[in-house]
Structure 1
Amino acid sequence: MIVLEPGAVPLAQWRAIYRGAEMRLDPACRPAVERAAETVARIAAGERAVYGVNTGFGLLASIRIDPADCDTLQRNLVVSHAAGVGDAMPRPVLRLMLALKLASLARGASGIRPETLDLLEAMLARDLLPVVPAQGSVGASGDLAPLAHMAAAMIGVGEIDTLAGRSPADKALRDAGLAPLALGPKEGLALLNGTQFSTAYALAGLFEAEALHAAALVSGALSTEAAKGSDTPFDPRIHDLRGHRGQIEVAAMLRAMMHESPLRASHRDDDKRVQDPYCLRCQPQVMGAALDLLRQAAATLATEANSVSDNPLVFPDTGEVLSGGNFHAEPVAFAADMIAMALCEIGSLSERRLAMLVDPALSGLPAFLTPRPGLNSGFMIPQVTAAALVSENKQRAYPASVDSIPTSANQEDHVSMAAHGARRLMAMADNGGHIVAIELLAAAQGYDFHAPVTSSEAIRAVHAEVRAAVPHLDDDRYFHPDIAAATQIVRSGRLRDIVDAHAIPVPSVAHD
């Protein structure tokens, strides 16, 4: 059970929630929430016009709302903004979004009542997840449409996905012993304003990218051995002179993976190649740069995940409610673009190693890694599949943050497109997982041709993991199940565990 301390939640806890861990709020947050709610209640009962409490929204902010209509105002806001389209958010990302919203509201700057916080926490505890269409946010004024669908479910409108299936929201709540929420002043706006949709998708992309990065380092080491590559490019003196942290750590891991390898020793003094192709030789430079980029994105998202990003914000100590722009998701958009670039390059370098392995002129191995080329095609088309996925990721990697389109009658004239930038990351990570999986199979196949000479203990263990799931390819067979099995290995995290078990440090994206 994770206890969320609003404003101080480490990435490790967000990752655990994404992976399915249970969570609850630290009760110490309640006094701050109560003070903010009391501040909003006083304002709603008074004569002063305060945006979000007793005025219209966006371009309609100058219209004063009668105190008797303030609750209706909030309901109308939610149902009118629940205008999303497309497929529903996947459950792991949705749980993360709800947890992010819960922690943000619990900071005590949004003005919601404790019972509103309690309902959101209870829905998470009971796995009552609103059905939220994933398209419709431009990443400014908050992720309005998706978060409105979340808020709508809380008031009994729309649908909720339960463990027993989808159900009308009001029925799902009542079946779980919960009453639909009657919104108070400002509560609708607090619920649907914020960056939690974009941030949840960006964090999910980050968590998948860090797992893919680790797997690609392992597959790269196995490919280097299969191709009888040199370990000289991993010499620490080279990388110390450049000084990039990620590059230094990647080189250290690759060097350790090949340490005391009989296979490496067998050709150390008689290399036919003066220098290896860049896909082998420059792994520290490319994968290290990707690691540094992911770390920068992780730092941004760790801050954003602990932020308050709705508007306006309540300051109970002075009784003020201040309008600003924390809902603008530009930091998330930039972070998502960085993750997309890293994902693209991880897959691109992996595919180049794969292409090198199937080319006998470069690898010295049988053409397309089959003992009988011509009669058999071997790894010919798996490499084509990897190339197709690399190109798809390149097309997806165009920065979303450089785009903008004005909305709300030009009141919201610059938007971040963070939702677009973050939503593509899951598909890119899926593509990357398949690419690395195909390389892993090819590397294991190439390694087989060097028998009985073997490699280091760590690489032997990695090879054994692959062979436990997928046998050596003697003659052509139906390839799809092999790729699926290897993809499961890549996504499971087992490759990192194997390397860690041999006391070889695998560079981590997020040091929690």
Structure 2
Amino acid sequence: MHPADLKNRQRAVVFDRNRLTIEDIVDIASGSARAELSDDPAFRAAITRGADFLDRLLREDGTIYGVTTGYGDSCTVTVPPELVAELPHHLYTYHGVGLGAYLTPDQTRAVLATRLASLSKGYSGVSVGLLEQIAKLLDAGLLPMIPSEGSVGASGDLTPLSYLAAVLCGEREVWRDGVPTSAADALRDAGITPLRLRPKEGLAIMNGTAVMTALACLAYDRAEYLVRLSTRITAMASFALDGNAHHFDETLFSVKPHKGMQDVAGWVRADLGAGQAERNGKRLQDRYSIRCAPHVIGVLADALPFMRQSIENELNSANDNPIIDGDGERVLHGGHFYGGHIAFAMDSMKNAVANLADLLDRQMALMVDSRYNHGLPGNLSGAEGPRAAINHGLKALQISASAWTAEALKQTMPASVFSRSTECHNQDKVSMGTIAARDCLRVLELTEQVTAALLVTVRQGVWLRRRVNPETPLPAALAQMEQALGDDVAPVAEDRRLEPELRVLIERIRSKAWSLYA
């Protein structure tokens, strides 16, 4: 597709002082939306007022942190007037100490969009030209190569965001069409002039929570889908285990009024259908991983609205320091770079998501064990006759799922409690929000792997249940899901390598391939 045609098909997300959503950032990250800086004169005038106010203060010999002083503990050091212009470039230069894996292109687009959102609030004292430069990077597909490690989450994401600041000025490296390229060369080829940062602009770019908030937006999007997918898997597992659908009764759940939990129970109830609930001869009480699944999944379902509020409030905040009130002509020194709300949301999310992995792992353990799966073959092997002796079904897949679950659970130690005093005890209480967000993404990755294993398992279990009990009707929603899964995973009648199919399923999960519930 021609780039111009692609751009015309993308939704435009306008950056001004209005509120953005998690979905705006996720869509820009995925490439389904593009960032547009508002051309509204009132918006641009508000941005300019802050920058002009700083210029006037400098002319009048005002003392401004990070503009006429050193940074952090060095705030007592006065910068000679003739060196003020060089200070922002020193800031991003000495913060070029990041390590670890580079952020992915999706993550980097989210970071640029998130920083643009904060600076567009008009309280950072930056120029319109700086905002335009960030938008140009996104439009040209020039993505700073940002190492993921090195931030303590206050004063914001200094080290990773230094890579954005440097690229805006034509330094360091970018991803261009997936290839590492000199920023100077990439900007020149795109017709973009490198910036010379104004006095506070280096601090404004770096001294904020853009990396952790961007990663939190992406994490939220993935966690929200896992709530629905783990619910559908639970319904299929209940059917495969010939379970008791009365466990999801509407009256039963009406007496425990957690809305998210009630929604999950309602989805399972609808998936299983009335006929499933009415059949006789059921076990009175299924094991907890089936009977209590809405209670487990519901914790995350009920926490998501709070998490959304925290993430979107941070996304729509001016979170650098100092805050520049261009209208009131004040410089306000504070600590809005502190990422505690994101840290708490991410530490909480990774706990709830890891519990989904644990729940699904327990469901799988029931389904593969002939002592508990109500008449299905051991390890859900589909082999029959003499060949059954040499086939092992999903035995190894269950081991791998347990390994992924264990690793996810191990990652749930909250990062926010590991605050360290840094930078000569100036940054003596820090959020660790970026580490929490990175941990959460890793837990999500592992849980998606467990989920892929369970999709194979429930597809196999439903197939075998219908072979064992051919008179049992398959409810419509589950039949539709089984058919969709069948496009990627055939029944395991004979042992085969499942890794390729698992990788396909993981991509389906991340692309939200299945429409689940209204």
Q: Same fold per TM (> 0.5)?
A: yes
The answer to whether the 8 Å contact 1:206/1:298 transfers is yes
AA at the equivalent of 1:468 = D
AA at the equivalent of 1:8 = R
Measured in 1, the distance between the counterparts of 2:95 and 2:509 equals: 40
Measured in 1, the distance between the counterparts of 2:371 and 2:330 equals: 72
Measured in 2, the distance between the counterparts of 1:57 and 1:397 equals: 34
Using the TM superposition, give the Cα deviation of residue 286 of structure 1 relative to its aligned residue in structure 2, in angstroms.
0.8
Using the TM superposition, give the Cα deviation of residue 212 of structure 1 relative to its aligned residue in structure 2, in angstroms.
1.9
Structure 1: unaligned runs, 5 residues or longer? 506-512
The aligned residue for residue 26 of structure 1 is 38
Using the TM superposition, give the Cα deviation of residue 339 of structure 1 relative to its aligned residue in structure 2, in angstroms.
1.3
Secondary structure at 1:94 match in 2: helix
Map of 1:105-254 to 2, 5 A cutoff?
105-163=119-177, 165-254=179-268
The answer to whether the 8 Å contact 1:143/1:194 transfers is yes
The answer to whether the 8 Å contact 1:59/1:411 transfers is yes
The aligned residue for residue 484 of structure 1 is 503
Using the TM superposition, give the Cα deviation of residue 427 of structure 1 relative to its aligned residue in structure 2, in angstroms.
2.1
What is the aligned-residue RMSD (CA, Å)? 1.5
Q: Judging changes above 3 Å, is the alpha-carbon distance between structure 1 residues 153 and 233 closer, same or farther for their aligned structure 2 residues? A: same
Measured in 2, the distance between the counterparts of 1:164 and 1:17 equals: 17
Deviations 1:230-283 (A, max 9, x none): 11111111211111011111111111111145xx26x72111x22001111011
Q: Judging changes above 3 Å, is the alpha-carbon distance between structure 1 residues 170 and 379 closer, same or farther for their aligned structure 2 residues? A: same
- Comparing 297-306 with 444-453, greater Cα deviation is found at 444-453
The aligned residue for residue 324 of structure 2 is 314
The aligned residue for residue 107 of structure 2 is 93
The aligned residue for residue 389 of structure 1 is 404
The answer to whether the 8 Å contact 1:33/1:108 transfers is yes
The answer to whether the 8 Å contact 1:368/1:379 transfers is yes
Secondary structure at 1:482 match in 2: helix
Measured in 1, the distance between the counterparts of 2:244 and 2:39 equals: 57
Task: Tell me if 1:13 matches 2:24.
Answer: yes
AA at the equivalent of 2:24 = Q
The aligned residue for residue 345 of structure 1 is 355
The aligned residue for residue 309 of structure 2 is 299
Measured in 1, the distance between the counterparts of 2:127 and 2:13 equals: 23
AA at the equivalent of 2:479 = R
Task: Tell me if 1:458 matches 2:477.
Answer: yes
The answer to whether the 8 Å contact 1:156/1:170 transfers is yes
Using the TM superposition, give the Cα deviation of residue 448 of structure 1 relative to its aligned residue in structure 2, in angstroms.
1.1
AA at the equivalent of 2:300 = A
AA at the equivalent of 2:57 = I
Measured in 1, the distance between the counterparts of 2:329 and 2:49 equals: 10
The aligned residue for residue 425 of structure 2 is 410
AA at the equivalent of 1:434 = Q
Using the TM superposition, give the Cα deviation of residue 7 of structure 1 relative to its aligned residue in structure 2, in angstroms.
4.3
Using the TM superposition, give the Cα deviation of residue 182 of structure 1 relative to its aligned residue in structure 2, in angstroms.
0.5
Secondary structure at 2:416 match in 1: coil
AA at the equivalent of 1:366 = P
Measured in 1, the distance between the counterparts of 2:229 and 2:61 equals: 61
Task: Tell me if 1:370 matches 2:381.
Answer: yes
AA at the equivalent of 2:420 = I
The aligned residue for residue 443 of structure 1 is 458
How many pairs were matched up? 495
Measured in 1, the distance between the counterparts of 2:511 and 2:184 equals: 37
Q: 1:290 aligns with which of 283, 300, 303?
A: 300
Measured in 1, the distance between the counterparts of 2:104 and 2:191 equals: 25
Measured in 2, the distance between the counterparts of 1:299 and 1:366 equals: 47
Secondary structure at 2:400 match in 1: helix
The aligned residue for residue 513 of structure 2 is 494
Measured in 2, the distance between the counterparts of 1:482 and 1:91 equals: 25
The answer to whether the 8 Å contact 2:272/2:478 transfers is yes
Measured in 2, the distance between the counterparts of 1:27 and 1:460 equals: 51
Measured in 2, the distance between the counterparts of 1:380 and 1:249 equals: 33
Secondary structure at 2:487 match in 1: helix
AA at the equivalent of 1:6 = R
Q: 1:427 aligns with which of 421, 430, 442?
A: 442
Using the TM superposition, give the Cα deviation of residue 199 of structure 1 relative to its aligned residue in structure 2, in angstroms.
0.8
TM-score normalised to structure 2 length: 0.93
The answer to whether the 8 Å contact 2:368/2:380 transfers is yes
The answer to whether the 8 Å contact 2:347/2:412 transfers is yes
Using the TM superposition, give the Cα deviation of residue 164 of structure 1 relative to its aligned residue in structure 2, in angstroms.
6.4
Deviations 1:132-189 (A, max 9, x none): 1111000001100000111011111111111262221112111111111101111111
Deviations 1:384-435 (A, max 9, x none): 1010001000111111111111111111101111111001222221211111
Using the TM superposition, give the Cα deviation of residue 114 of structure 1 relative to its aligned residue in structure 2, in angstroms.
1.2
Using the TM superposition, give the Cα deviation of residue 485 of structure 1 relative to its aligned residue in structure 2, in angstroms.
2.9
The aligned residue for residue 69 of structure 1 is 83
Measured in 1, the distance between the counterparts of 2:60 and 2:292 equals: 66
The answer to whether the 8 Å contact 1:54/1:66 transfers is yes
Q: 1:326 aligns with which of 333, 336, 355?
A: 336
Deviations 1:266-322 (A, max 9, x none): x72111x22001111011111111111233212110111111110001011221111
Q: Equivalent pairs: percent with the same residue?
A: 32
Deviations 1:452-484 (A, max 9, x none): 333111110000111121111112112222322
Measured in 2, the distance between the counterparts of 1:371 and 1:111 equals: 66
Q: Judging changes above 3 Å, is the alpha-carbon distance between structure 1 residues 86 and 164 closer, same or farther for their aligned structure 2 residues? A: closer
AA at the equivalent of 1:428 = V
The aligned residue for residue 15 of structure 2 is 4
The aligned residue for residue 508 of structure 1 is none
Using the TM superposition, give the Cα deviation of residue 78 of structure 1 relative to its aligned residue in structure 2, in angstroms.
1.4
The answer to whether the 8 Å contact 1:294/1:338 transfers is no
TM-score normalised to structure 1 length: 0.94
The answer to whether the 8 Å contact 1:7/1:307 transfers is no
The answer to whether the 8 Å contact 2:380/2:393 transfers is yes
Measured in 1, the distance between the counterparts of 2:483 and 2:428 equals: 56
AA at the equivalent of 2:70 = G
Using the TM superposition, give the Cα deviation of residue 56 of structure 1 relative to its aligned residue in structure 2, in angstroms.
0.9
- Comparing 417-426 with 23-32, greater Cα deviation is found at 23-32
AA at the equivalent of 2:231 = L
Measured in 2, the distance between the counterparts of 1:229 and 1:18 equals: 41
